[in-house]
Structure 1
């Protein structure tokens, strides 16, 4: 991405399409909230909403992303099976957790995350929202957090870089401070999983296994969705 920016002078090649997906996700946001309102377990449904948003990944197949059907996403998530479901472990861990670091993945998806974060805040949890400082593929940046209208829902902290995943070696001091003091970390997407799966921290991974390698590592099938507790903790 650094070389691409230097050669083309284009800082964010996916800028327009990220704006499009933020708008589309915001359009269906009320429907996502209704799903949570009608669920027997509000937090569980909100977590599923957040996982469903992980289909928006321009780094996997931009053609498929361009034809995403948001209505189908809503239909599918109502009965979406989780190949790994550590939700009960999450609820148990949540009891002793106040400070939650929420590491976002993609633009558009960040609106789905808002549904989950809103439920966490209702439980009197302090949520710190992490976004990339610089554009990389369609990862969420501060502008996406603003467009998703987080406002006072969660404080936004930047990673300090535009790396894929989380690189604590060149992250901002602000991010590292929140990472260290977090009682619980919620990590979205494959890129973050690949860089945090061996980290000794209380991490829960919410993602769709978009490649065979990650699927094998998680012990699931390709394209399965998971809510998995870190094995390193």
Structure 2
């Protein structure tokens, strides 16, 4: 998905937020903002928003030496998500569901609300509301039946993770997949609140399925920048389960893979590209 005009003011907002999160020093904040806005002014309209945002985050890391400005927030949301998922397990939501697979998909999508890059103010109640709403709203797109059919006929499945905290909700869906066929993928290094191997070990997902990182630290999955090991694994998989907006933005042009996108459509540009409304719960195999 190419960058749209709608993305530009969002990226400018992110430039300020990145600076404020990376350092308390005014001089460093101003330098990060200046370099980020310069990168934004030189953008290629054939690029994706995550490619532009990656450059801005690199400026922050170079200026401050702070490798992971969002580390504390990620742990906070891992903890919040754990508390909510423990309630779901203790109350046996899935065991009592008419269609447990459908509920597992909805819970995975609900967790996608945990996204710092879109400017949402989140707390425990906002995440819990996303979870509760996911059980009663209509999903936009192909639906859980189509995904389940694709899973049953696939030989190798890649599950592209999105954010810390959110991955706790992914566990519900992973438990309904053929685990021996699944490889779960996170980022190769920190960026915003995207999940890394540290979050995988916190969540225990490494005890469920094979895990790996993609060798890169941009949001989404920029194939040209990912490691050879990841690309080899990606090539072998005949089904991709893609979580979150950034993965959609960086993979939606691919037509030779069966990819199901699971996300909350949190911005107008992504919603318009998919054909849904902003904040819809999306589960769709999108072909352009």
Q: TM-score range by the shorter chain?
A: over 0.9
Is the Cα–Cα contact under 8 Å of residues 57 and 106 in structure 1 kept in the other structure?
yes
Offset, 1:191? 0.3
Please give the per-residue CA displacement for 1:33-56, whole angstroms capped at 9, x wherever unaligned.
422111111111101000000000
Alpha-carbon distance in 2 for matches of 1:149, 1:105: 16
Alpha-carbon distance in 1 for matches of 2:68, 2:137: 33
Please give the per-residue CA displacement for 1:94-142, whole angstroms capped at 9, x wherever unaligned.
2211311000010000000111011113xx5521110001111110000
Offset, 1:67? 6.1
Where does 1:185-204 land on structure 2 (aligned, <5 Å)?
Answer: 185-199=240-254, 200-204=256-260
Say whether 1:222 aligns with 2:278. yes
Say whether 1:86 aligns with 2:147. no
Partner of 1:13: 69
Match for 1:97 among 154, 170, 181? 154
Deviates more, 1:28-37 or 1:172-181: 28-37
TM-score after normalising by structure 2 = 0.75
Offset, 1:66? 4.5
Where does 1:42-191 land on structure 2 (aligned, <5 Å)?
Answer: 42-62=100-120, 64-66=121-123, 68-121=125-178, 125-191=180-246
Query: What stretches of structure 1 move > 6 A for 4+ residues in a row?
Result: none
- SS of the equivalent of 2:83 reads helix
Offset, 1:3? 1.4
Alpha-carbon distance in 1 for matches of 2:100, 2:245: 25
Please give the per-residue CA displacement for 1:7-48, whole angstroms capped at 9, x wherever unaligned.
011111110010011111112223334221111111111010
Is the Cα–Cα contact under 8 Å of residues 274 and 286 in structure 2 kept in the other structure?
no
Say whether 1:206 aligns with 2:266. no
Alpha-carbon distance in 2 for matches of 1:83, 1:102: 20
More strand by share: 1
Please give the per-residue CA displacement for 1:175-219, whole angstroms capped at 9, x wherever unaligned.
111111112100001100011111121100001111111111111
Is the Cα–Cα contact under 8 Å of residues 187 and 217 in structure 2 kept in the other structure?
yes
For the aligned residue pairs, the C-alpha RMSD in angstroms reads 1.6
Say whether 1:24 aligns with 2:80. yes
- SS of the equivalent of 2:109 reads helix
